[in-house]
Protein backbone atom coordinates (compact mmCIF):
# COMPACT_ATOMS: atom_id res chain seq x y z
CA UNK A 1 0.00 0.00 0.00
CA UNK A 2 1.13 3.49 -0.72
CA UNK A 3 1.73 5.96 2.04
CA UNK A 4 2.71 9.63 2.25
CA UNK A 5 3.89 11.26 5.45
CA UNK A 6 4.21 14.96 6.10
CA UNK A 7 5.80 15.22 9.50
CA UNK A 8 5.18 18.93 9.92
CA UNK A 9 1.60 19.70 10.92
CA UNK A 10 2.04 23.46 11.11
CA UNK A 11 4.80 25.89 10.19
CA UNK A 12 4.86 29.57 11.01
CA UNK A 13 7.37 31.93 9.42
CA UNK A 14 7.87 35.63 8.91
CA UNK A 15 7.66 37.05 5.42
CA UNK A 16 10.84 36.72 3.33
CA UNK A 17 12.03 33.67 5.25
CA UNK A 18 12.72 30.48 3.31
CA UNK A 19 10.60 27.50 4.31
CA UNK A 20 10.97 23.80 3.52
CA UNK A 21 8.11 21.34 3.70
CA UNK A 22 9.05 17.73 4.22
CA UNK A 23 7.48 14.70 2.55
CA UNK A 24 8.36 11.02 2.80
CA UNK A 25 6.61 8.38 0.73
CA UNK A 26 6.28 4.62 0.48
CA UNK A 27 5.47 2.67 -2.66
CA UNK A 28 6.31 -0.60 -4.37
CA UNK A 29 5.69 0.81 -7.82
CA UNK A 30 8.65 1.55 -10.02
CA UNK A 31 6.80 4.18 -12.02
CA UNK A 32 4.99 6.88 -10.12
CA UNK A 33 4.55 10.62 -9.88
CA UNK A 34 4.98 12.87 -6.88
CA UNK A 35 3.13 16.12 -6.50
CA UNK A 36 2.80 19.15 -4.30
CA UNK A 37 -0.57 20.86 -4.15
CA UNK A 38 -1.60 24.02 -2.31
CA UNK A 39 -5.02 24.53 -0.78
CA UNK A 40 -5.84 28.16 0.05
CA UNK A 41 -8.84 29.03 2.24
CA UNK A 42 -11.07 28.95 -0.84
CA UNK A 43 -10.70 25.17 -0.79
CA UNK A 44 -9.58 24.44 -4.32
CA UNK A 45 -6.43 22.33 -4.65
CA UNK A 46 -3.88 24.11 -6.80
CA UNK A 47 -1.16 22.15 -8.58
CA UNK A 48 2.37 23.37 -7.83
CA UNK A 49 4.95 20.85 -8.99
CA UNK A 50 5.29 17.30 -10.25
CA UNK A 51 8.20 14.91 -10.40
CA UNK A 52 8.26 11.45 -11.98
CA UNK A 53 10.07 8.52 -10.49
CA UNK A 54 12.58 8.14 -13.30
CA UNK A 55 13.90 11.67 -13.19
CA UNK A 56 15.68 12.75 -10.03
CA UNK A 57 16.85 16.06 -11.38
CA UNK A 58 15.95 18.78 -8.94
CA UNK A 59 14.71 22.06 -10.31
CA UNK A 60 13.81 25.56 -9.37
CA UNK A 61 10.72 27.29 -10.65
CA UNK A 62 10.51 30.89 -9.55
CA UNK A 63 10.38 30.89 -5.75
CA UNK A 64 9.68 27.15 -5.65
CA UNK A 65 12.26 24.39 -5.62
CA UNK A 66 12.17 20.73 -4.75
CA UNK A 67 14.53 18.04 -3.65
CA UNK A 68 13.63 14.53 -4.80
CA UNK A 69 15.76 11.72 -3.38
CA UNK A 70 14.74 8.16 -4.27
CA UNK A 71 17.32 6.73 -1.88
CA UNK A 72 15.51 8.20 1.10
CA UNK A 73 12.02 8.28 -0.50
CA UNK A 74 11.76 11.97 0.15
CA UNK A 75 10.28 14.79 -1.89
CA UNK A 76 10.82 18.06 -0.04
CA UNK A 77 9.50 21.40 -1.24
CA UNK A 78 11.05 24.80 -0.56
CA UNK A 79 9.55 28.24 -0.90
CA UNK A 80 12.17 30.96 -1.10
CA UNK A 81 11.45 34.44 0.27
CA UNK A 82 7.98 33.51 1.50
CA UNK A 83 5.09 35.90 1.11
CA UNK A 84 1.82 36.31 3.01
CA UNK A 85 -0.04 34.96 -0.03
CA UNK A 86 1.80 31.66 0.41
CA UNK A 87 -0.25 30.99 3.55
CA UNK A 88 -2.22 27.82 2.83
CA UNK A 89 -2.30 24.10 3.46
CA UNK A 90 0.27 22.22 1.40
CA UNK A 91 -0.20 18.60 0.42
CA UNK A 92 2.32 16.13 -0.88
CA UNK A 93 0.81 13.37 -3.01
CA UNK A 94 1.87 10.14 -4.68
CA UNK A 95 0.14 8.76 -7.75
CA UNK A 96 -0.46 5.14 -8.62
CA UNK A 97 -0.33 3.82 -12.16
CA UNK A 98 -3.45 2.15 -13.45
CA UNK A 99 -3.60 0.37 -16.78
CA UNK A 100 -6.57 -0.82 -18.76
CA UNK A 101 -8.47 -0.43 -21.97
CA UNK A 102 -7.59 2.91 -23.49
CA UNK A 103 -4.26 3.41 -21.81
CA UNK A 104 -2.54 4.15 -18.54
CA UNK A 105 -3.82 6.72 -16.07
CA UNK A 106 -2.64 8.14 -12.78
CA UNK A 107 -5.86 9.40 -11.26
CA UNK A 108 -5.44 7.75 -7.89
CA UNK A 109 -3.47 9.93 -5.52
CA UNK A 110 -2.45 9.17 -1.97
CA UNK A 111 -2.14 12.40 -0.03
CA UNK A 112 -0.18 13.29 3.04
CA UNK A 113 -1.93 14.83 6.02
CA UNK A 114 -1.04 18.33 4.92
CA UNK A 115 1.13 21.08 6.39
CA UNK A 116 -0.48 24.35 7.41
CA UNK A 117 1.86 27.18 6.45
CA UNK A 118 1.29 30.61 7.95
CA UNK A 119 3.41 33.49 6.73
CA UNK A 120 3.27 36.54 8.96
CA UNK A 121 3.95 40.04 7.61
Partner 1 sequence: KAGVTQTPRYLIKTRGQQVTLSCSPISGHRSVSWYQQTPGQGLQFLFEYFSETQRNKGNFPGRFSGRQFSNSRSEMNVSTLELGDSALYLCASSSPGRGVSGANVLTFGAGSRLTVL
Is residue 35 involved in binding partner 1 (CB under 8 A)? yes
Q: Is 33 in the site for partner 1 (CB under 8 A)?
A: yes
Cross-strand bridge partners of residue 13: 119
Per CB under 8 A, the segment of 7-15, 58-66, 74-82, 88-96 that binds partner 1 is 88-96
Single out the residue of 21, 75, 114, 117 in contact with partner 1 (rule: CB under 8 A): 114
Asked if 97 contacts 106 with a C-beta cutoff of 8 angstroms, the reply is yes
- Of 22-30, 60-68, 73-81, 110-118, the window that binds partner 1 (rule: CB under 8 A) is 110-118
Cβ neighbourhood burial of 97 (10 Å; 0-12, 13-18, 19+): middle
> Which residues lie closer than 8 Å to 44 by C-beta, 6 or more apart?
none
Q: What residue ranges bind partner 1 (CB under 8 A)?
A: 33, 35, 37, 42-47, 50, 91, 95-96, 98, 100-114
Amino acid sequence: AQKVTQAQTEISVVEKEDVTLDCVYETRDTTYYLFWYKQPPSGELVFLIRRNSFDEQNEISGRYSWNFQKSTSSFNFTITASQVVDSAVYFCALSEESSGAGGTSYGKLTFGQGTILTVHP
